[in-house]
Structure 1
Amino acid sequence: MIKNITLLIRKLRSFLKEKFKQYDVTLPYIITFVVALVVVVGGINLFIELTETLKSELLADYDQQITQYVLSHRSPALTKYFIFVTHLGDVYGYLIVVGIFTVVSIFVFKRWKYIIQIFLVLALSALSNLILKRFVDRARPGIEHMVSVETLSYPSGHAMSAMAFYGFLMYLFYRFKINVFLKTGIIVLLGILILSIGFSRIYLGVHFPSDVAGGYIAGFIWVVFCVLLFNLIEVFRRDPQTTTA
C-alpha cells in the first residue's frame, strides 16, 4: 500500500510539474486525500441505498426467511459458541484483544503507532454507529433475545465494530514481517471471527440480517479510509520534499 501511494504521489508530482511552474509540495497529498474521501463517500452512498430499502417488503421477506432459517439450527453447542463470539465483539472482548495486541506491539514490533491506530479505528466505528442508529431509528426484531440489548437495531454495532476493528487487524498482520503460515492463520482466524460475530447477532435474535449487512458495509468503509489515511501520513512523513519544505 505504501509503495502504491508513493508511486501515486510521484505521478501526481510529475503531472503538476508539467502543468504548473510552481505549486505547493503538499498538493499531491491533498489530492490523494480527496480521492480517499471520494472512496468513503461512495461507500456511504451504498450504505444509504441499503438504508432506504429497509422498509421495502422484499427486504423484509429476506430478513424473515434468513432469520427463520438461522433460528431453525439453534442447538446448545451453537448457542454457547455464538454467545462466546458475540462477547468478543463487545466492550470487554475488545479490551482483552487490545491488551494482547498492545503487549505484542510494544515487545515484539516495538511500535506504539499500531496501538494508536487501532484505538482510532475502533473509536470512529463506535461513535459513527451511535449516530447512525439514532438517524435510522429501527427497532429490534420482535423475537426472543438470547442476550440483553439496550440500543436500536440498524446498523449492527457488533458487525460494524468487528469489521472495522478485526478487519484493520487483518490488514496490520498482512503487513507484519512474520512467518507466512502464522500470518495466514491469524488472518483466516480473524476473518472467521468477523463472520461469526455478525452471524451471532442473527442467531441470538437481536438483529435482522440487513442490520448485520449494513454494519459490515459501514465498518469496511472505515477500514478502507483509515488504511488510506495512515499510509498517506506515513508516506508524507518520509517524503524529503515535505520534511524540508
Structure 2
Amino acid sequence: MRLTRSPRVVLLLLLGGFIPLLIFGDLAEDVWKQGGFWFDVPLLLAIHSTAQPKLDVFVSHLTKLGVFWGVFPVAAMIALFLLIRQRWHALEYFFTASVGSIIINQTVKLLLHRARPHLWTSPAPEFDYGFPSGHAMASMTLVAALSILSWNSRWRWFVLIIGTLFVLIIGWTRLYLGVHYPSDVLAGWMVALGWTVGVSVLINPHQVRRRYQ
C-alpha cells in the first residue's frame, strides 16, 4: 500500500477510515442520548442461553488474549521486530496506531460513562465503563495494523483471515461473559478500524527512509 494521491488511497480512506468512524459516531451519539439500543439486551440474553459452567471457565481465560495475554505481548514483539529491522516508518505507524487506540478508548469511556450490563453474574466481571469495548478495540487495532504492515507480503491473506477470526472470537467472549453490550463491541471495532486505517494514510508504514550521503 503506497501513500499516493490516487483513487485507491481515497477508496481506502473512505471504506476503511471514514465509514467506520461515521458508524462509531452514530453509535456514540445514540448511547449519549438514549443510553442504548433495542438489540443489546436480546442479543446478550440469546448468547447467555448457551452458557455452561465449563465454558464459563474457558471463556474467562480466552478473553484475556484480547489484551494482557495476547494483544500486548504480540504488539511488543512486533514493535521489537520493526525496531531490530530498522523499519522506522512502520514502527512509527504501529506505535502511533497502538498508543492512540488506548488513548481514544479511555477518553471515550470517561466522556460517555456507559455502565456495563448487569443481566447476570459474570464469571469474569469488569468494573469500569463499557463503551467502547477495550478488548474489541485492542484486538481490532492489532489485526488491522498487522494486516496493513503485511499487505505487500505473501502473508497478507493469512494475517487477514486468522486476524478476523481472532477479532470475532474476542468480541464474542465479551458478550458471552456479559461484560459488554453488542453495541460496545461494534463501536470498539469501528473506531479502531477507522483510526488504524486513517493513521496508515498519514504515516505510510511502507515508505523506505532514504539515506543521504
TM range (shorter): 0.7 to 0.9
Corresponding residue for residue 53 of structure 1: 30
Per-residue deviation, residues 51-110 of structure 1 (Å, max 9, x unmatched): 2223649x5431111001111112356435533442121134233212432465466x66
* Higher RCO, Cα 8 Å, sep 6+: 2
Alignment of 1:192-231 (within 5 A): 192-231=165-204
Report the secondary structure of 2:151's partner residue: helix
TM-score (normalizing by structure 2): 0.79
Distance 1:232 1:99 in 2: 17
Corresponding residue for residue 138 of structure 1: 114
Query: Does residue 75 of the first structure (1) align with residue 48 of the second (2)?
Result: no
Corresponding residue for residue 127 of structure 2: 150
Corresponding residue for residue 66 of structure 2: 89
Distance 1:232 1:162 in 2: 19
Per-residue deviation, residues 177-215 of structure 1 (Å, max 9, x unmatched): x3xxx5433321111001111111111110001111111
Percent identity between the two aligned chains: 27
Letter matched to residue 202 of structure 1: L
Number of aligned residues: 206
Q: Is the 8 A contact 1:163 1:220 kept in 2?
A: yes
Gaps of 5+ in 2: none
Query: Does residue 125 of the first structure (1) align with residue 101 of the second (2)?
Result: yes
Q: Decide which structure has greater helix share.
A: 1
TM-score (normalizing by structure 1): 0.70
Distance 2:157 2:205 in 1: 26
Distance 2:201 2:207 in 1: 10
Q: 1:82 to 1:174 in 2, by over 3 A?
A: farther
CA RMSD of the aligned region, Å?
3.3
Which of the residues 6, 16, 36 maps onto 1:8? 6
Q: Is the 8 A contact 2:40 2:183 kept in 1?
A: yes
C-alpha displacement of 1:158: 1.0
Gaps of 5+ in 1: 10-31
Letter matched to residue 151 of structure 2: Y
